[in-house]
Amino acid sequence: MNIVVDIPNYEPHRWLEPIQRALSEHRVFDAADLNGVGLHSIDAAVVGWSDSYRLDRFPNLRFIQSTFMGVDRLLRDPTIDPAVPIARMVDPDMPVSMTESVLAHVLFAHRQLDVYRRQQSDAEWIERDQPLARDVTVAVLGMGELGRMAAAALRSVGFRVVGLSRTGAAVDGVEVSTSIDTVLSHANIVVNLLPLTDETIGILCARTFAMLPVGSVIINLARGAHLVDTDLLDALSRGHIRHAILDVFTTEPLPAVHRFWHHPQVTVTPHMAAMSTPESCVPVIVENLRRFDRGEHPLHLVDRNIGY
Ligand code: NAP
């Protein structure tokens, strides 16, 4: 099997080299250094985050392994033959990392630290009523690998957790619904962990904000295109949404002129809520390439029909 690794700005000694060591009977090439390599000889690709993967360079490609959990860019890429199976990354550390981010952001919102930060900038000493977590409802949009672990952690702190999924499959301790209207109607804090698909694009918008109680907080950790930026700015200015914590943006890096950067009711982080490390991803990549080579079903294949 011949494998190409196409991860922009990566460190080969942390990705390509350990893959090659584990698959010593196969050949692993760097996409940036394919001189002398017959492009038709490439069977499988390991790809990171790119605007265009140019995978049509490899006419005999039969398997794509993503190093990202979200594969929305891969599914939109016209250089990828829809018949080639794509596996997304599901490594053991990513849900742990995301759960830490969710806890940090939800507790920041719950303890009103956004409000106290604004008060501090005006040297205002005002103590505010503070409910306990048990009196607060957190809506987790997406009950997948990330949403389920985050929901369990939020439950352990005492929050009431309601969850949104496509199928409504039961999750311990979470009131799961397939209706976003139901999920949002009592939520004080919303955490978005949905995949970006035709159904979920723009899901955080004026219509859905209107379902939330006044003073709610939005935490978007999934994809920028889930959010309609102008609708959020409007809801913030009216106070309907008190604060937004945003890790992902339609254009990344977030352009310097974007209003989110200096908005007092917005917290911006640079798409870092959960990061892949080669140490946790490489074993998953190797396992899936071995499965592909043996003609077995790779793990975590994406269903193009539902978009995730
Ligand atoms: P996942 O395991 O595929 O789970 C997706 C969840 O969303 C499932 O519960 C699914 O429902 C639900 N869903 C999908 N379409 C829906 C719809 N139309 N209506 C309602 N629910 C729907 O995904 P994951 O691994 O948890 O990752 C989620 C997303 O997080 C990724 O796609 C990526 O965009 C984002 N992410 C962000 C970062 C970051 O650093 N900011 C890092 C990693 C991932 P079912 O359970 O019924 O299938």
How far is CA 16 from its chain centroid? 24
In the annotation, is 223 catalytic?
A: yes
Residues with CB under 6 A from ligand 1: 69-70, 94, 142-147, 164-167, 169, 193-197, 199-200, 221-223, 247-248, 271, 273-274, 308
CA of 89 relative to ligand 1 center, distance in Å = 12
Q: Report, as an integer, the average pLDDT of 49-67.
A: 91
In the annotation, is 262 catalytic?
A: no
Q: Report, as an integer, the average pLDDT of 230-258.
A: 98
Q: Report, as an integer, the average pLDDT of 101-127.
A: 98
Q: Report, as an integer, the average pLDDT of 206-224.
A: 98
CA angle 122, 125, 129 (to 5 degrees): 120
pLDDT averaged over every residue in the chain: 97
**What's the distance, Cα to Cα, between the start and end of the chain in Å?**
27
What is the model's pLDDT at position 163?
98
Please write the tens of the pLDDT for every residue from 65-82. Answer: 999 999 999 999 999 999
How far is CA 248 from its chain centroid? 8
Lowest mean pLDDT among 48-62, 111-125, 140-154: 48-62
Please write the tens of the pLDDT for every residue from 238-247. Answer: 999 999 999 9
Strand order across the beta sheet in which 27-30 lies: 27-30, 2-6, 44-47, 63-66, 86-87
Residue 162 clears pLDDT 90, i.e. is over it = yes
CA of 223 relative to ligand 1 center, distance in Å = 10
CA of 147 relative to ligand 1 center, distance in Å = 7
Q: Report, as an integer, the average pLDDT of 14-23.
A: 97
Instruction: Tell me how crowded residue 82 is: count the other CB atoms within 10 A of its CB.
Output: 9
Residue 51 clears pLDDT 80, i.e. is over it = no
What is the model's pLDDT at position 276?
77
